[in-house]
Structure 1
Amino acid sequence: MKKNAIEVVRGSGNVFRDLGHPDADILQAKAILAARIIGILDDRGITVRRAHELTGFAAADFSRVRQAKLQRFTLERLISMLLKLNKDIEINIEVKSRRHDSHVSA
């Protein structure tokens, strides 16, 4: 039986960047916020209907977050959902030069 060679590739830490999405950083931020929302709902045993009652956001919005259907959501909206779930938010932004963009043209 012949074994296939497995190539191991170290990821960047952002699966969306690794897959070549042009808006990888935004997608990653949305995924992190959605994961936090899902974690809060799960930890507190909150249904999507109860989340609607607590926050005023539609139950369908929480269902979309649970299904990782985040296309309709802005970062601001996801942050607002977390705030309505009584969570404080701290955002750290680090701006770095891209490896392939050593200069910016005007």
Structure 2
Amino acid sequence: MKKRIVDGVEFEIGSGNVFADLGLPDAEKLKIKSGLVFEIDEAIRRLGLTQEQAARRMGIPQPKVSGLMRGDFANFSERKLMDCLTRLGYDIEITVKRAEAETGHLVLAVG
């Protein structure tokens, strides 16, 4: 990582993935899942849903919604999180294309 000094304080510039910066395994997957959870939280707030209403709409128990709102998404697959978003009125598009490099990467684009 690059280091910078601002006003005499040295700091490192992050990679854009806090999970990778922390050295966590499956950092790319965690980044994708956290982005999906962020959008779920935003949708619930925008729609003015209670956790119980959101749970019914997403087809999951209310305690799971509570956990999601607190950032507990370890037991959710990316597919289930995408299903929750579609039930909250989101369209999800997955584009697969050949990578320019030898190894490709995942990108979550929210618009």
CA deviations 1:48-99 (Å, max 9, x no partner) are 100122232211121111000111111111111111112101245686567x
Structure 2: stretches of 5+ with no match in the other structure = 1-7, 104-111
Which 4+ runs in 1 deviate beyond 3 A? 91-98
Matches within 5 A, 1:25-104: 25-91=28-94
Aligned residue type for 2:16: G
Q: State how far apart, in whole Å, the 1-side matches of 2:28 and 2:68 are.
A: 18
**TM-score, structure 1 as length reference:** 0.78
Q: Percent identity?
A: 32
Q: State how far apart, in whole Å, the 1-side matches of 2:12 and 2:102 are.
A: 22
Q: State how far apart, in whole Å, the 2-side matches of 1:27 and 1:8 are.
A: 24
Q: State how far apart, in whole Å, the 2-side matches of 1:64 and 1:80 are.
A: 17
Structure 1: stretches of 5+ with no match in the other structure = 99-106
Size of the aligned set, in residue pairs, is 95
* Cα drift, residue 10 of structure 1: 1.0
Higher strand proportion: 2
C-alpha RMSD over aligned residues: 2.1
**TM-score, structure 2 as length reference:** 0.75
Larger radius of gyration: 1
